[in-house]
Amino acid sequence: MQYSHSNRGIDVVWFKRDLRIRDHTPLANALSRGRQVLLLHIYEPTDLAHLTTSNRHLTFRWQAWTALCKEVRALNWPVQTAVLHAPALDVLKYLHEVSGIRALYSYQETGLAHTFIRDQAITRWVRINEIPWHEQRQQAIYRGLKHRKKWANDWHNTMRGGLTRASPGPNLERFEVPEWPPGWACVETPHVTHCNDPGGCGPFQKGGEREARRYLQTFFEGRVKGYRRQIGRPLESRKSCSRLSPYLAWGCLSMRQVYQTFQNADVPRAKMDLKAFGSRLRWQGHFIQKFESECRIEFESVNRGYADFPYHGTPESLAAWKEGKTGIPLVDACMRCVINTGYLNFRMRAMLVSFLTHHLDHPWQAGVEHLARCFLDFEPGIHFSQFQMQAGVTGINTIRIYNPVKQSMERDSEGLFIREWVPELAKMPIEYLHSPWTQPPMERLWSGLDLTYADPIVSVESAGRAAREKLWKFKKTNAVREEATRILRIHVAPSSLD
């Protein structure tokens, strides 16, 4: 039996990467307009099987959804909640058959190809069934945007807008949630269905709005001091960086909430730190917009001129990089850290990608899914754009080839981070710690040190030099230059090109 959306049925708020109740426009609209409202979160089989998904993502989502439902109950909102494991379209079809869907509310998701294909299928279905789907844009992100003429102004205007407050309307009433088909209702955190989960002993940051607000509060109450100086250091940055990225990636906070908190912050003796943090906020939206404008970059380089760029990396070197067993202490420490905790500061992430693509000579596609699984804050719009930028295949950005030994000596000069994550080197003298291969063999043999740490799988100096020559030569080709011109026209504001 089909129900007319005009006179009966439920209003469904579909939560995806927006797991919060504050500053949530689709939720606020459904509560004010609806009569019977279902708050819905779905673990889809295609997502559990996707090679960018890891169990840490699923756990974070579960924690965030559980916290959201707990708060909804505490507020005594007359709504129903459901978390399901099934294809989203099947869920909506079933709901429409047994209860009737009056309207569907959600944010547009900056997701992967399979989620976009799903959204296209749902769009066709709601049109056929005459169900309004109120899709809200997030932070001035436009699908398929062809230029940036007014984008920066739109972003700033959105950030300065009022925060949306959700409140039950006068017509809201409780109702019976339908009985779900067998296997749909989730009673515990689902797990990935592929065999490439990174595992990790943790601790990982916990999901939920309350945790997000705690990180936001402690950052602007004092942790921001030292941000500018310590942002590039793998150990100190774990405290001095905001650590808000997982909460933005999974929507426990909106960027508007963060932006307005930043604008109102008054932290003594932290003016330059606040300025450095604020300068990075719009970059988050910039890279997400870049991905939405050219979503093909999930699979191929934004600059098509690099389609034939030659790589000669071996399966053995790729495996060593993924496992943190390259013989380069800082590279291995960073990989082991992000596998086990889900977090790594930006500079060290960039160094990992640089080492993979430049020193080990692998295409960025070889490592993009592995680090997506490792990063608790995996955000597709940022991840694929940044991976290509650090791999040097955009044709518009400065080519940066990070020397991991130099980075180690500058960013972990006392070796505290390395000793924590590479225990094989815990007793290595500091003069050899950043490059253990320089220790004379006999001295190492007679020192009584752990000898299990691998020799470097590549020469940092010669591999870096070869990569630099190859990248600069390729960047000068006509194909890359023509593509670079096209990219600038689409992704850079006209004033920036003058």
Sign of the C-alpha dihedral computed for residues 19, 24, 30 and 36 taken in this order? positive
Three-state SS sequence of 116-165:
HHHHHHHHHHHHHCCCCEEEECCCCCCCCCCCCCCHHHHHHHHHHCCCCC
Helices 255-263 and 151-160 pack at an angle, to 10 degrees, of 80
Q: Give the per-residue pLDDT at 16.
A: 98
User: Residue 334: its pLDDT value, please?
Assistant: 98
Would you state the structure tokens that stand for residue 458, as one six-digit string? 């590549």
The owner of tokens 């003298």 is 429
User: How far is 439 from 423, CA to CA, in rounded Å?
Assistant: 17
Name the region of 361 (left: φ>0; alpha: ψ -120 to 50; beta: rest): left
Look at 452 and 156; give whichever has higher pLDDT: 156
What pLDDT is attached to residue 97? Answer: 96
Mean of pLDDT values over 416-434: 95
Q: Reply yes or no on whether the pLDDT at 497 is more than 70.
A: no
- Burial grade of 131 (CB within 10 A; 0-12, 13-18, 19 or more): buried
Span 461-480, average pLDDT: 96
Spatial separation of the C-alpha atoms in residues 28 and 463, rounded to whole Å: 55
Give the CB-side neighbour count of residue 384, counting CA atoms within 13 A: 24
pLDDT of residue 3: 38
Task: Tell me which residue has tokens 């579909």.
Answer: 14
**pLDDT the model gives residue 443:** 84
Q: For strands 101-107 and 10-15, give the pairing.
A: parallel
Residues of the chain with pLDDT > 70, as a percent, come to 97
Which of residues 61 and 268 earns the better pLDDT score?
61
Cis peptide before 436 (omega within 30 of 0): no
pLDDT the model gives residue 495:
55
What are the extents of the domains in the chain? 10-136, 209-285, 304-497
Q: Which conformational region is residue 212 in: left (phi greater than 0), alpha (psi within -120 to 50 degrees), or beta?
A: alpha
Output b/e per residue, 50-66; b: 16+ Cβ within 10 A: bebbbbbbbbbbbbbbb
DSSP, res 107: E
Q: What is the average pLDDT score of the chain?
A: 94
Match domain 209-285 to its CATH number in 1.20.1250.20, 1.25.40.80, 3.40.1390.10, 3.40.50.620. Answer: 1.25.40.80
Residue 297 confidence class, pLDDT cut points 50, 70, 90? very high
pLDDT score at 5: 41
Identical fold for domains 10-136 and 209-285, yes or no, is no
User: Residue 151 pLDDT more than 50?
Assistant: yes
Smallest CA-to-CA distance from 106 within 73, 138, 69 is with 138
pLDDT at 112 over 90: yes
Mean pLDDT of 250-262: 97
Q: Where are the alpha helices (DSSP H) in 363-435?
A: 365-374, 380-391, 404-411, 416-421, 430-433
Question: Residue 76 pLDDT > 60, yes or no?
Answer: yes
- The 10 Å Cβ neighbour count of residue 136 is 16
Q: Kindly give the residue spans of alpha helices, DSSP state H, lying in 269-355.
A: 271-293, 315-323, 329-341, 346-354
Q: Is 110 left (phi over 0), alpha (psi -120 to 50) or beta?
A: beta
- CA proximity to 289, closest of 158, 488, 134, 155: 155
436: DSSP letter: G
Whether 382 shows a pLDDT value over 70: the answer reads: yes
Residue type, position 346, single letter: F
Chain centroid to CA 414: 30
Q: How confident is the model at residue 340 (pLDDT cuts 50, 70, 90)?
A: very high
Give me the residues paired with residue 106 across strands.
Answer: 14, 135
Residue 483 has pLDDT above 60, yes or no: yes
Any idea which architecture 10-136 has in CATH? 3-Layer(aba) Sandwich (3.40)
pLDDT, mean of residues 344-348: 97
Give the count of beta carbons closer than 10 Å to the beta carbon of residue 37: 28
Query: Are 292 and 488 within 8 A, CB to CB?
Result: no
Q: What is the mean pLDDT of residues 226-255?
A: 96
304-497 CATH: 1.10.579.10
